[in-house]
Structure 1
Amino acid sequence: MTFRDLHRPGDPLLLPNAWDYGSAALLAAHGFPAIGTTSLGVAAVHGKPDGAAATRAETIELAETVNGLGVMVTVDIEGGFSDDPAQVSDLVAALAALGVVGVNLEDGRPDGTLRPIELHQRIIEAALGHGVFVNARTDTYWLKAGDTLERVRAYGHADGVFVPGLADLAEIAEVVASTPLPVNVLYQPGGPTLAQLAEVGVARVSTGSLLYRASLQGALSTLLALQSRPAPPVPSYAEIAAILPEPR
């Protein structure tokens, strides 16, 4: 079975996201057929900002390290770490040579804007042709900018489309109906269940940075319990991003 075959509308792939070899190995040992990486987790492990094109080398190194785990690996490469389609093509080719089966390519930028549609279309095109599943991510919901359906349709030459932040079942169903591509959404605690997402035709459900953030919560809770202090909630993405170094 290929990675593409795991994307079944109505029977979605649950894709957990790892941030280092240990987390990937643990997920692989528990039978998950495919694992993604989380850019926030990778950035935090290396003391760098997320979404700022600062972890290209670390992302490649992680892909190479987890290559021997016997599971399919798809890699979060932010926006391709470049606005140059040729450089993005070279990166995806290098990852494919390491055995990576997929990449996520986002249109959100560190300054809170969206990459122009035409440029992101060229970035997607540059990533195709290397034998990996190109998941085109649009950050319209997270950045509260742009038109989601316009972006989803514009990225129709990708292999899949990802709309993180989308949580309303009716809106998710609208996105699914707007494209023939398999739709990926981000699991959010308290949001729709896997069964509900399956009912509206979602083909892939990612955990994003959730597992990394939950691991920090678990570590801190264990420590605070020694002092009989209450466990804190799982930190938000924003809380973790705020303690990382500023982009240079």
Structure 2
Amino acid sequence: MTVFHDLHHADVPLLLPNAWDHASAAGLAARGFAAIGTTSLGVAAAAGLPDGAAATRELTVQLARQLGRGMYLLSVDAEDGFGQDPDDVAELACELADAGAAGINLEDGLGSARLHAAKIAAVKAAVPGLFVNARTDTHWLGDGGHSETCRRLDAYQQAGADGVFVPGLSDPARIAELVKTLDVPLNILYSPLGPTVAHLGDLGVCRVSLGSLLYRRALGAALDTAAGIRAGRPPHGALPTYVEVQALSGEGPGGRRPGP
């Protein structure tokens, strides 16, 4: 077991915020987050590319190389592995692990469960220590049926997934029911209208991801600030100074972790 694995078996859920560049990751680390994920939407949108279209493989690897040696554990959102060949996905996983990633998030996009299981198995064979968080999109792209969700998650954990992820599921009763069927940690996407992190922990959830929430909130704040200033209103909310942002690129909290 690795340190990242252990965080999924603590007394409280692992709250995983998702960054999209060095500054956002370093800032989160400076606030005390020991593990940070990436957001595929943030990476894609920042480059003017679509999310979920296998368009950001190289950008994802490049970001992992920037963040993978930071003072935090890194999990990389790799969409569906940016390909349909399990061997190619395993090669990607090796690149991410070499960059310093502790985990990878792979989504099925509601495609073939058998193919997704094959990707998971290939990754675990190539990089056994990499935490594979296997996501099913039954609630985002399907009808959210319990039986289909269970069928897919069972296939993924049988293939070697270290954890499973069901974004879009927020009903407490259904979450508790799903936890009972699993042998690996369950990851739930935080919803501002759903259960709190503490409540999710009580339900048996081991990991709570923020997904693209922080990126979208940051973008919204920027747009509101610009429109407010144009309308004569002063900006509100947290405003890091120039010096504080500059410091995120240096040593210290959120900077570079010591070499081996």
Query: How far apart are the structure 1 equivalents of 2:38 and 2:98?
Result: 17
Query: How far apart are the structure 2 equivalents of 1:9 and 1:197?
Result: 13
1:135 alignment partner in structure 2: 133
Query: How far apart are the structure 1 equivalents of 2:24 and 2:198?
Result: 26
Secondary structure at 2:132's aligned position in 1? Answer: strand
Q: Which runs of 5+ in 1 are unaligned?
A: 109-113, 232-248
Q: Report whether the alignment pairs 1:170 with 2:168.
A: no
Cα RMSD (Å) of the superposition? 1.6
Q: Report whether the alignment pairs 1:77 with 2:78.
A: yes
Task: State the AA in 2 paired with 1:41.
Answer: G
Q: Tell me if structure 1 keeps the 8 A contact 2:69–2:99.
A: no
Q: Report whether the alignment pairs 1:212 with 2:203.
A: no
Query: How far apart are the structure 1 equivalents of 2:56 and 2:211?
Result: 16
Task: State the AA in 1 paired with 2:139.
Answer: Y
Percent identity between matched residues is 55
Deviation at 1:119, TM superposition (A): 0.7
Q: Report whether the alignment pairs 1:202 with 2:198.
A: no
Query: How far apart are the structure 2 equivalents of 1:10 and 1:72?
Result: 19
Secondary structure at 2:134's aligned position in 1? Answer: strand
Deviation at 1:8, TM superposition (A): 2.5
Query: How far apart are the structure 1 equivalents of 2:9 and 2:232?
Result: 46
- Residues 178-213 of structure 1: per-residue CA shift (max 9 Å, x gap): 111000000011210011101111000000000000
1:161 alignment partner in structure 2: 164
1:105 alignment partner in structure 2: 106
Deviation at 1:67, TM superposition (A): 2.3
Give TM-score scaled by structure 2 length: 0.84
Q: Tell me if structure 2 keeps the 8 A contact 1:3–1:72.
A: yes
Task: State the AA in 1 paired with 2:62.
Answer: E
Task: State the AA in 2 paired with 1:128.
Answer: K
Q: Which runs of 5+ in 2 are unaligned?
A: 236-260
Report which of the two structures shows the higher radius of gyration computed on alpha carbons: 2
Q: Report whether the alignment pairs 1:119 with 2:115.
A: yes
Query: How far apart are the structure 2 equivalents of 1:200 and 1:170?
Result: 8
2:38 alignment partner in structure 1: 37
Secondary structure at 2:3's aligned position in 1? Answer: coil
Q: Tell me if structure 2 keeps the 8 A contact 1:136–1:158.
A: yes
Q: Report whether the alignment pairs 1:188 with 2:191.
A: yes
Deviation at 1:10, TM superposition (A): 5.3
Q: Return closer, same or farther for 1:122/1:78 CA change in 2, 3 Å cut-off.
A: same
Q: Tell me if structure 2 keeps the 8 A contact 1:41–1:212.
A: yes
Query: How far apart are the structure 1 equivalents of 2:213 and 2:112?
Result: 28
Query: How far apart are the structure 1 equivalents of 2:156 and 2:178?
Result: 12
Give TM-score scaled by structure 1 length: 0.88
2:142 alignment partner in structure 1: 144
1:235 alignment partner in structure 2: none
Task: State the AA in 1 paired with 2:112.
Answer: P
Query: How far apart are the structure 1 equivalents of 2:121 and 2:100?
Result: 20
Q: How many residues align?
A: 226
Secondary structure at 1:184's aligned position in 2? Answer: strand
Task: State the AA in 1 paired with 2:166.
Answer: V
